């Protein structure tokens, strides 16, 4: 019996054809992703603050406190009596010249009392001019921030008047009394004579401390007297006028800034004179100082212990903007 073989039918299944996205679709997707990123970044970003800036000059000048360190010798009275001063405050005296004398008889004290009662009628026009010039100079340089200088100025004027009265009294006593005698004291060396004491006479640049620069506890005592002084008490001070120093206290940042250069440029007490000088560096117990040495200018600052030192640096011109400003930004 014959076997009949049936032919199997094959079913053809057609798969759907995948179309590749076109260039436009690809470009649209990129733009959409970029816009999405920018929107998210904008939502999370803070709004910028707008400032108006102007052309200005930028400098890094600053002012520090300077301490005048000088060779100072206190002269004590050799006897008890009324002192008569031959040298005016701040004037130079040569070695061996008379600085002051002691009147033990009391004649000078009586004459001084008479001068102070009637001295205004005895002063000359030149004396009044000298006093007026001192007052004008003080007014021109006065600053309310340094009101304490008023008391120093008062002491200076008092000393000036006392000097004028002393000259008149000395002339009157010398001409009118044959028994009048003075025990004159001579200068041991040449220098500048001044009539105040503040306890800083023995200060040296080798023993600087922060307490020495504290103006709030500083006191200044006048040595001029129109009455009797005891033997051994201070009557004046003699300052060597050749060499002196200014010790300047600085913070760490100020010290680093100043010591970047070999020379320091500064002015003293807002003077128009610009000084450029070498200096010595001192680092002691976490405190920083520089010391500037001089062989001139001492006569101008003989009655001052503290000086305002204004350091001067090069200026830069441009637009001054806040430190937080955005100056570059990646896009």
pLDDT in tens, the chain (331 residues): 555 555 556 666 665 665 666 677 878 888 888 898 888 877 777 666 776 766 655 557 889 999 999 999 999 988 888 787 778 888 888 888 878 878 776 665 666 566 656 555 566 777 778 778 878 877 777 777 667 667 667 766 766 666 666 666 666 655 655 444 566 788 888 889 999 999 999 999 999 999 999 988 999 888 887 678 888 899 999 998 788 999 999 999 999 999 998 999 999 988 888 999 999 999 988 999 999 999 888 888 998 999 999 998 865 566 666 666 666 666 6
Alpha carbons within 13 angstroms on the beta-carbon side of residue 106 total 0
Neighbours of 101 (CB within 10 A): 21
Collapsed DSSP state (helix, strand, coil) of residue 151: helix
Contact between residue 115 and residue 196 where contact means Cβ atoms under 8 Å apart: no
Sort 256 into a burial class: Cβ within 10 Å, 0-12 / 13-18 / 19+.
exposed
Taking a C-beta distance cutoff of 8 angstroms, is the pair 193, 299 a contact?
no
Closest CA to 214 of 200, 204, 201, 202: 200
On whether the pTM is more than 0.85, the answer is: no
Six-digit token string for 28: 């649209």
Contact status, residue 163 vs residue 56, Cβ threshold 8 Å: no
Q: Calculate the CA 248 to chain-centre distance.
A: 8
């Amino acid at each position: 019996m014959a076997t009949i073989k049936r032919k199997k039918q094959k079913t053809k299944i057609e798969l759907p054809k995948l179309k590749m996205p076109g260039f436009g679709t690809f470009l649209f997707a990129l733009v959409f992703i970029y816009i999405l990123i920018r929107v998210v970044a904008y939502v999370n970003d803070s709004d910028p603050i707008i400032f108006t800036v102007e052309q200005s000059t930028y400098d890094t000048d600053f002012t520090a406190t300077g301490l005048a360190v000088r060779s100072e010798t206190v002269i004590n009275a050799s006897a008890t009596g009324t002192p008569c001063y031959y040298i005016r405050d701040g004037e130079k005296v040569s070695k061996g010249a008379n600085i002051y004398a002691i009147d033990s008889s009391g004649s000078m004290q009586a004459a001084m009392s008479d001068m102070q009662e009637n001295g205004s009628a005895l002063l000359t026009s030149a004396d009044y001019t000298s006093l007026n010039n001192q007052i004008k100079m003080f007014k021109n340089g006065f600053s309310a921030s340094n009101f304490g200088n008023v008391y120093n100025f008062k002491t200076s004027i008092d000393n000036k008047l006392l000097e004028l009265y002393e000259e008149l009294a000395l002339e009157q006593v010398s001409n009118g009394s044959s028994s009048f005698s003075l025990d004159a004291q001579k200068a041991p060396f040449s220098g500048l004579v001044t009539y105040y004491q503040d306890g800083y006479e023995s200060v040296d640049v080798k023993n600087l401390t922060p307490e020495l620069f504290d103006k709030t506890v500083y006191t200044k005592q006048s040595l001029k007297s129109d009455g009797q002084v005891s033997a051994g008490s201070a009557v004046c001070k003699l300052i060597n006028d050749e060499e002196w120093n200014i010790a300047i206290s600085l913070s760490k940042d100020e010290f680093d800034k100043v010591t970047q250069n070999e020379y320091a440029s500064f002015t003293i007490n807002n003077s128009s004179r610009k000084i450029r000088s070498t200096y010595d560096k001192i680092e002691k117990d976490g405190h920083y100082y520089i010391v500037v040495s001089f062989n001139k200018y001492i006569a101008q600052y003989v009655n001052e212990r503290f000086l305002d030192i204004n350091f001067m640096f090069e200026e830069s011109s441009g637009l001054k903007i806040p430190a937080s400003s955005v100056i570059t930004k990646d896009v």
